[in-house]
Structure 1
């Protein structure tokens, strides 16, 4: 039974989400503020987190940062803030989806189901047909989802790793932002292509050498991106 941590400072919303998810067969734990959320996360293993941004004590962005220090667990953001900058910041912190309040509990449950299904399929796929990649100092193990650059570990979020591994499997091939958006989220994400731009920018920064102009991921202006070997 998948376990889900739901964090929101409105008890009514917590009850609605908990009822919806419990009815779908999930085990749900709730938290009313950011500090409690961090304590719950450190106390128990979860399969997915649903996180409100406007939290007392510790806000949702800081909660996300703390979680991402040690885990790539899927995170869905809930927020009344519909500004593009908040969405980009959220994805920049490694969230998997962003839902604006007011929201449909049915849609939320569908997104939860889609993300958990995709995560399970990715883990299964990696375990049966993944083979490691090593070239030019970059080493990737899709089974353990570990990345090293010149023998130094590189911490990637789940989506950063997904984009990197997809592009590595298709070296020197150019992909548009739309193509990458579909390949990584398929039909599970409703949003715009700026999400890909943010992820690629962050990923490129993480796997670059400070003493070289070489970049594993190159941008073809007005076209898309490619992983070069």
Structure 2
């Protein structure tokens, strides 16, 4: 038995009933919602380890719900959709989803993806945050209180903007963040399409924390989507 609490958000009863059988057989506790509004209400009152989120739903769809969830929550999100075009997948992943599954699907596949995402999330988060003020990722140490960064015990000097970008990526470890999302988190103002500020800052951060900036160990580029620290 794997264990954990799954929030299943879908307005198609047949899909909910089918996945409920398979997930409960694997030892998961299942919470259910039929739209994004209900999902947000559940998240505000109960602990959830992973979310399975349908895209097309009434009142609040999965895209809007995912964006709102990502403002505060970092658990894995698997999106379900009948849309199979590449741009639909890119949209889902760029707003914060960790996986994207096209309908129709096998319930065994969903169960396997749930286990994979939870296993990865738990491994990434075990001992990665030493306390409220320090994030440790391999040899990279980020001290939130002192704004100091070190690599292999050697201090690295970052500008305030560079530190803020690195902190956003580190706090969302394992999640791909778009340039728009990073910019709005750091600058607290709207992002414009032709803005290459994030790209420039990422290059400078890599030059300071990576042994080989052209083959980065920490900050990875996910082409067409954004950046992530794995």
TM-score range, shorter chain: 0.5 to 0.7
Q: Say whether residues 1:197 and 2:196 are aligned partners.
A: no
| Partner of residue 148, structure 1 | 164
Superposed CA deviations along residues 44-67 of structure 1, whole A, max 9, x for unmatched, are 121100000000111111111110
Alpha-carbon RMSD: 3.2
**1:83-162 → structure 2 map (5 Å cutoff):** 83-127=85-129, 130=137, 131-132=141-142, 133=149, 134-137=156-159, 148=164, 154=168, 157-158=172-173, 159-160=175-176
* Deviation of the 1:135 alpha carbon: 2.8
Quote the residue 1:206 is aligned against. Answer: none
1:28-83 deviation per Cα after TM superposition (whole angstroms, max 9, x unaligned) = 10111222112112221211000000001111111111101111121000000111
| Residues 139/28 of structure 1: CA separation in 2 closer, same or farther (3 Å cut) | farther
Q: Give me the whole-angstrom Cα distance separating, in 1, the residues matched to 2:77 and 2:24.
A: 18
Q: Secondary structure at the match of 1:102?
A: coil
Shift of 1:173: 3.4
Cα distance in 2 for partners of 1:63, 1:10 equals 17
| 8 Å contact kept, 2:20–2:30 | yes
Tell me if the contact between 2:93 and 2:176 (Cα under 8 Å) persists in the aligned partners: no
- For normalisation by structure 1, the TM-score amounts to 0.66
TM-score (norm 2): 0.66
Determine the C-alpha separation between the residues in 1 that align with 2:63 and 2:121: 23
Distance 1:41 1:88 in 2: 25
Give the alignment partner of residue 173 of structure 1, picking from 213, 217, 230: 213
Unaligned runs of 5+ in 1: 141-146, 185-192, 204-229
